[in-house]
């Protein structure tokens, strides 16, 4: 018993040292990347200063922000939502439509859209949370589907239908426009992911976050304590939806167009994949899952058309040519065999490593 | 008037397809608490293999059509049984993880179908008669609608008979109500799990072949699209209720058809509004017994 | 009344069900901490205690319906790690709290589904004890009264050759007349198969039980004869929260 405790102390002590230093080093390195000439063949399409690579990395960081907001739902409140893309899409399309129709400056436009996202998440969350568990999953899916249909139908020629909506760059400050300024967008994405991480951490440590976690474990007990699980879950739901909306606006600036896929159920499912791959309940797991998913998704397409795969017999080549087949299979395997995802497995490996070191020292 | 009859008939046909998907979903959810995202894949596989076989025998012959129905149902049943036995059952009673594996499976399978059959819809045709119409009170009703409705009714009847008249059926009905009491009576309820997946998969596979004739094409996303409506249908009908699924299938499909025609293509919204209304007034659905 | 004392001596016969160091969890929360009990091969053993001390959870843990640790031995066989249906097949009849009849199934179907393979099915006994069930065979069980549903629940357990019955609060919420019917049925059943009975109504306990096990806070705190316990006002007051100078009041219990 005492040995277990001392190991935990060792783990936490080393973790806290790493916990302060590692993120700062990581942030500094990430911030400097656009100024450096680093190549990672196979993983990145080119040297780190090139717009293509910066675009991919910025996308990965925005996906990490979104995965963090999804982590609030699934990892903190235990809510399995299939409609999170709706709030992201509301941010993407909302900003696109407001800039296109009203031509107001970027800052007030973003404020208006953000308020809209908060209201949307509040209204739909209030209805969806009337049911829990699997029915909740189905209902969120249905609402998101309505949003997806709305985007595709192009009501009042606002959303551009299947083609999507291009960003009206008029009201956008010059330093955020054009390929030559991709590094600015990259830095914006980096700030987004850092801010999101801090906000999510703050929400988790707030009273609502604690109660939500307690609700996930034991709803009855929370009710006995005189707190309404419904209201707490709604707070988390709205927080997650609002973050997603905010990230959506940055996404529009980065991609400079809004397309219907950002509201689709498949988009939410990809968020689910990221969080589960990373490890449900872990913040940095969500970030890692999102980055790995985004890079894999991008690079697996390149792998599919590579000479190596094209040279394989058809029965092997066919599945390898479909990135989503590989990701889907990987996901099934993770759920079946690595329930803790990347974060859980790393933690287990570290514990084993520390245990091993402990016993070898003892001998 | 003839428009109303036409919309009514095609709405019933669409409802029949929804029911073929939703019946299995609802039974699986009712018995096991699993939301099966792979159900649409059972449908797509049924549709594709049915079409492959129909082409081999002759796509415009009745023999080809009949064989495609059988092959579609078999393909769905086998795929579903294997899914349950080797993937879902490993995660016994862990409902969220069970949903997650079906999500992953659906993703992988759709991608695989993309690779095999291509992403574009493949237009198909059956026996000549199916594409023709029959005049009922001035409305020209496509003949495939009658086949689809009859097939759905036959499936409904068979499932009801199976549930009422066999011991397995009795175990399934009891398990939908109270799974742990069934186990406490000494019954290995996992056999029933595999069985409902198989039945649901067969209905979905059959639905896939019929849907491909109703819409006139097969595509890897056919099942996923129908799955969304089937989810809505099962929630509205009451999770776990077969009859509820039947009623809600027809309700949702008719509403969609009429709203699409008379309210400027707003069918999908009408359905979501209906869903929200049902949830606000009766969260357990039309015929749902209890909130799980 | 004296016959009870005689039957009380059967507590010396070898145990059919032995529970040792049982603990159990529901959703990670400990509901049973340390329960030890023995059910002799004949008669009724009462499992007593205030509300929420873990009586129902103990029964569920024995059935393998909730996560548990500790040993549960049935007729010499350890049931550790067995799924619920295998525990039942060893010869355990379970009559749950709140009856849990299948509301959508008919009375006949409720009995039919309880038929276990590899043994006789004692419809004679069941219909002899509860003739009403025969008359109402085709009625949906959900439309029965509480008392009738209790009969279905007991009948499901009596239908098979069981080694022990686990009966959880069979008189809960029943009218006084029905309480005596159920008590009579329990006494009759106990002549054929040993019973572990959770019961809040101490009159019923006095009438049918020989042994008694008292739980408090998820632990076994007292084991002995049922009558001796009920005659001990201090213990009953402390662990059962009732003063039993003489007759205990039939008490409506809520879980």
- For residues B182, B184, B190, B196, the Cα torsion angle rounded to the nearest 10 degrees is 0
Residue-range domains of chain B with CATH = 2-281 (1.10.3470)
- How many domains does chain A contain in total? 1
The DSSP output letter for B233 is: H
Map tokens 């809040």 to a residue. Answer: C200
Q: Say if CB B98 and CB B30 are below 8 A apart.
A: no
Q: Confirm whether A7 is domain-assigned.
A: no
Domain boundaries, chain C: 2-101+162-240
- Dump pLDDT digits (tens) for C221-255: 889 888 888 888 888 888 887 655 444 444 433 33
Mean pLDDT by 10 residues, chain A (363 residues): 40 54 79 74 74 84 92 88 92 89 85 93 90 82 84 77 77 72 85 90 84 73 69 90 93 86 86 88 87 85 73 74 85 86 82 69 45
Q: Confirm whether A8 is domain-assigned.
A: no
H-helix or E-strand containing C211? strand C209-216
Q: How far apart are the first and last CA of chain A?
A: 19
Residue B224 forms beta bridges with which residues? none
Q: Confirm whether A51 is domain-assigned.
A: yes
Q: What is the pLDDT of residue B289?
A: 63
- For residues A9, A12, A17, A21, the Cα torsion angle rounded to the nearest 10 degrees is 170
Q: How many whole angstroms separate alpha carbon C237 and alpha carbon C222?
A: 13
Spell out which residues of chain C touch residue B185, defining contact as CB-CB under 8 Å. Answer: 85, 88, 94, 113-114, 116, 156
CATH code (residue A183): 1.10.3470
Q: Say if CB B88 and CB B24 are below 8 A apart.
A: no
Spell out which residues of chain B touch residue C102, defining contact as CB-CB under 8 Å. Answer: 173-174, 177-178, 181
Q: How many whole angstroms separate alpha carbon A121 and alpha carbon A135?
A: 18
- Cα four-point dihedral sign B161, B167, B170, B171: negative
Q: Which of B120, B220, B78 is nearest to A266 (CA)?
A: B220
* pLDDT higher than 70, residue B290: no
By Cβ distance, the residue of A127, A128, A336 closest to B101 is A336
Q: Is C85 in the B-facing interface, judged by CB distances under 8 Å?
A: yes
**Cβ within 8 Å of B, A 260-299:** 265, 269, 272-273, 276
- The gap from C-alpha A23 to its chain's centroid, in whole angstroms, comes to 18
Spell out which residues of chain C touch residue A218, defining contact as CB-CB under 8 Å. Answer: 27-29
Q: Say if CB B156 and CB B21 are below 8 A apart.
A: no
What is the mean predicted confidence (pLDDT) over B151-170? Answer: 92
A170 CA: distance to closest CA in chain B (Å): 34
Helix (H, G, I), strand (E, B) or coil at C221: strand
- Strand runs (DSSP E) across A108-220, as ranges? 165-166
Q: What does the buried/exposed string (b/e) look like for B42-62 if buried means 16 or more CB atoms within 10 Å of the residue's CB? A: bbbbbbbbbbebbeeeebeee
Burial of C161 (0-12, 13-18, 19+ CB in 10 A): middle
Q: Is A14 in the C-facing interface, judged by CB distances under 8 Å?
A: no
Of C25, C26, C27, which to mutate for an interface test with A (greatest number of A Cβ within 10 Å)?
C27
Q: What is the pLDDT of residue C118?
A: 77
Q: Which of C204, C218, C249 is nearest to C52 (CA)?
A: C218
Spell out which residues of chain B touch residue C113, defining contact as CB-CB under 8 Å. Answer: 167, 170-171, 174, 182, 185, 187
Q: What is the pLDDT of residue B221?
A: 87
Q: Is B26 in the A-facing interface, judged by CB distances under 8 Å?
A: no
Confidence of residue C17 (pLDDT cuts 50, 70, 90): very high
Q: Confirm whether A285 is domain-assigned.
A: yes
Burial of A267 (0-12, 13-18, 19+ CB in 10 A): buried
Q: What is the pLDDT of residue A13?
A: 46
Q: Say if CB B203 and CB B98 are below 8 A apart.
A: no
Of C60, C66, C102, C107, which to mutate for an interface test with B (greatest number of B Cβ within 10 Å)?
C102
Q: Confirm whether A232 is domain-assigned.
A: yes
A218 CA: distance to closest CA in chain C (Å): 7
B189–C100: do the CB atoms touch at under 8 Å?
A: no
Q: Confirm whether A236 is domain-assigned.
A: yes
Burial of B261 (0-12, 13-18, 19+ CB in 10 A): middle
Q: What is the pLDDT of residue B105?
A: 94
Of A218, A219, A222, which to mutate for an interface test with C (greatest number of C Cβ within 10 Å)?
A218
What is the mean predicted confidence (pLDDT) over C28-52? Answer: 89
What is the mean predicted confidence (pLDDT) over B180-199? Answer: 92
Q: What is the pLDDT of residue B247?
A: 93
- Strand runs (DSSP E) across B97-177, as ranges? 122-123, 133-136, 139-142
B186–C112: do the CB atoms touch at under 8 Å?
A: no
Q: What is the pLDDT of residue A363?
A: 40
- For chain C, the chains sharing at least 3 beta-carbon pairs closer than 8 angstroms are A, B
What is the mean predicted confidence (pLDDT) over C32-57? Answer: 90
Q: Is A329 in the B-facing interface, judged by CB distances under 8 Å?
A: yes
Q: How many whole angstroms separate alpha carbon A119 and alpha carbon A111?
A: 12
Of A142, A217, A274, A303, which to mutate for an interface test with B (greatest number of B Cβ within 10 Å)?
A142
Query: How high does pLDDT run on average in chain C?
Result: 84
* pLDDT higher than 80, residue C3: no
- Dump pLDDT digits (tens) for A223-265: 666 667 888 889 899 999 999 999 999 999 888 888 888 888 8
ipTM entry:
0.85
Q: Say if CB A45 and CB A107 are below 8 A apart.
A: no
CATH architecture of the domain with range C2-101+162-240: 3-Layer(aba) Sandwich (3.40)
**Cβ within 8 Å of C, A 161-220:** 217-218
Q: How many whole angstroms separate alpha carbon A48 and alpha carbon A41?
A: 11
What is the residue range of A192's domain? 24-362
């Amino acid at each position: 018993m005492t040995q277990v405790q001392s190991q935990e102390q060792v783990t936490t002590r080393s973790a806290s040292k790493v916990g302060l230093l590692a993120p700062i080093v990581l942030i500094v390195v990430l911030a400097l990347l656009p100024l450096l000439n680093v190549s990672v063949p196979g993983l990145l399409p080119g040297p780190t200063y090139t717009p293509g690579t910066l675009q991919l990395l910025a996308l990965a960081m925005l996906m990490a922000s979104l995965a963090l907001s999804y982590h609030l739902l699934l990892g903190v409140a235990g809510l399995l939502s299939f409609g999170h893309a709706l709030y992201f899409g509301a941010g993407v399309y909302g900003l696109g439509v407001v800039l296109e129709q009203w031509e107001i400056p970027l800052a007030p436009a973003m404020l208006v859209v953000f308020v809209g996202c908060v209201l949307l998440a509040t209204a739909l969350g209030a209805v969806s949370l009337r049911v829990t568990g699997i029915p909740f999953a189905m209902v969120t899916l249905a609402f998101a589907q309505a949003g997806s249909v709305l985007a595709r139908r192009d009501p009042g020629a606002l959303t551009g239908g299947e083609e999507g909506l291009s960003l009206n760059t008029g009201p956008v400050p010059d330093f955020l426009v054009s390929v030559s300024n991709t590094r600015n967008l990259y830095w914006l994405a980096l700030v987004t992911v850092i801010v999101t991480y801090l906000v999510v951490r703050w929400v988790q440590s707030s009273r609502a976050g604690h109660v939500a976690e307690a609700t996930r474990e034991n709803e009855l007990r929370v009710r006995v304590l005189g707190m309404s699980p419904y209201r707490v879950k709604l707070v988390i739901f709205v927080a997650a939806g609002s973050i997603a909306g905010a990230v959506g606006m940055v996404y529009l600036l980065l991609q400079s167009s809004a397309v219907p896929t950002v509201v689709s159920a498949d988009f939410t499912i990809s968020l689910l994949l990221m969080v589960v791959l990373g490890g449900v309940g872990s913040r940095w797991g969500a970030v890692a899952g999102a980055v790995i998913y985004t890079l894999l998704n991008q690079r697996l397409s390149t792998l599919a058309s590579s000479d190596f795969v094209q040279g394989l017999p058809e029965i092997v080549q066919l599945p390898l040519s479909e990135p989503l087949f590989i990701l889907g299979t990987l996901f099934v395997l993770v759920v079946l065999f690595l329930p803790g995802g990347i974060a859980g497995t790393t933690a287990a490996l570290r514990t084993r490593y520390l245990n091993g070191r402990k016993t070898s020292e003892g001998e | 008037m003839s428009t109303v009859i036409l919309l009514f008939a095609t709405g019933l046909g669409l409802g029949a397809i929804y029911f073929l998907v939703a019946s299995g979903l609802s039974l699986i959810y009712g018995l096991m608490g699993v939301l099966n995202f792979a159900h649409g894949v059972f449908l797509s596989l049924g549709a594709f293999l049915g079409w492959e076989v129909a082409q081999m025998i002759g796509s415009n012959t009745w023999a080809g059509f009949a064989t495609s129905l059988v092959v579609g149902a078999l393909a769905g049943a086998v795929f579903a049984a294997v899914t349950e036995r080797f993937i879902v059952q490993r995660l016994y009673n862990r409902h969220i993880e069970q949903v997650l594996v079906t999500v992953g499976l659906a993703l992988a399978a759709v991608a695989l179908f993309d690779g095999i059959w291509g992403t574009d819809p493949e237009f198909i045709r059956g026996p000549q008669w199916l594409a023709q119409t029959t005049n009922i009170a001035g409305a020209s009703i496509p003949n495939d609608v009658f086949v689809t409705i009859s097939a759905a009714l036959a499936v409904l009847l068979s499932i009801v008979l199976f549930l009422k008249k066999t011991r397995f059926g009795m175990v399934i009905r009891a398990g939908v109500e109270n799974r742990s009491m069934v186990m406490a009576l000494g019954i290995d309820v996992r056999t029933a799990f595999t069985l409902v997946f198989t039945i649901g998969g067969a209905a979905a596979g059959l639905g896939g072949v019929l849907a491909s004739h109703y819409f006139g094409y097969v595509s890897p996303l056919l099942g996923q699209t129908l799955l969304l409506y089937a989810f809505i249908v099962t929630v509205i009908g009451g999770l776990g209720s077969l009859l509820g699924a039947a009623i809600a299938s027809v309700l949702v499909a008719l509403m969609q058809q009429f709203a699409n025609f008379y309210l400027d293509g707003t069918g999908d919204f009408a359905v979501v509004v209906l869903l929200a209304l049902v949830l606000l007034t009766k969260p357990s659905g039309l015929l749902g017994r209890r909130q799980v | 009344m004296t016959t009870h004392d005689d039957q009380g001596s059967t507590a010396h016969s070898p145990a059919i069900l032995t529970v040792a160091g049982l603990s159990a969890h529901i959703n990670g929360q400990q509901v049973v901490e340390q329960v030890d009990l023995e059910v002799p091969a004949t008669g009724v053993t009462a499992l007593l205690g205030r509300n929420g001390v873990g009586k129902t959870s103990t029964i569920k843990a024995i059935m393998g319906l909730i996560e548990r640790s500790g040993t549960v031995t049935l007729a010499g066989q350890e049931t550790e790690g067995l799924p619920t249906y295998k525990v039942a097949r060893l010869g355990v009849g379970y009559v749950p709290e709140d009856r849990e009849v299948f509301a959508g199934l008919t009375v006949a179907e409720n009995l039919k589904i309880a038929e276990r393979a590899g043994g006789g099915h004692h419809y004679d006994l069941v219909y002899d004890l509860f003739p009403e069930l025969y008359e109402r065979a085709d009625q949906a069980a959900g439309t029965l009264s509480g008392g009738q549903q209790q009969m279905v629940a007991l009948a499901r357990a009596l239908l098979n050759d069981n080694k022990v019955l686990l009966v959880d609060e069979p008189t809960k919420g029943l009218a006084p007349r029905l309480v005596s019917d159920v008590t009579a049925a329990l006494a009759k059943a106990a002549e054929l198969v040993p019973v572990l009975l959770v019961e809040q109504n101490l009159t019923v306990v006095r009438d049918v039980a020989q042994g008694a096990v008292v739980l408090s806070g998820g632990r076994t705190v007292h084991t002995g004869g049922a009558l001796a316990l009920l005659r001990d006002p201090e213990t009953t007051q402390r662990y059962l929260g009732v003063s039993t100078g003489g007759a205990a009041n039939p008490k409506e219990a809520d879980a």
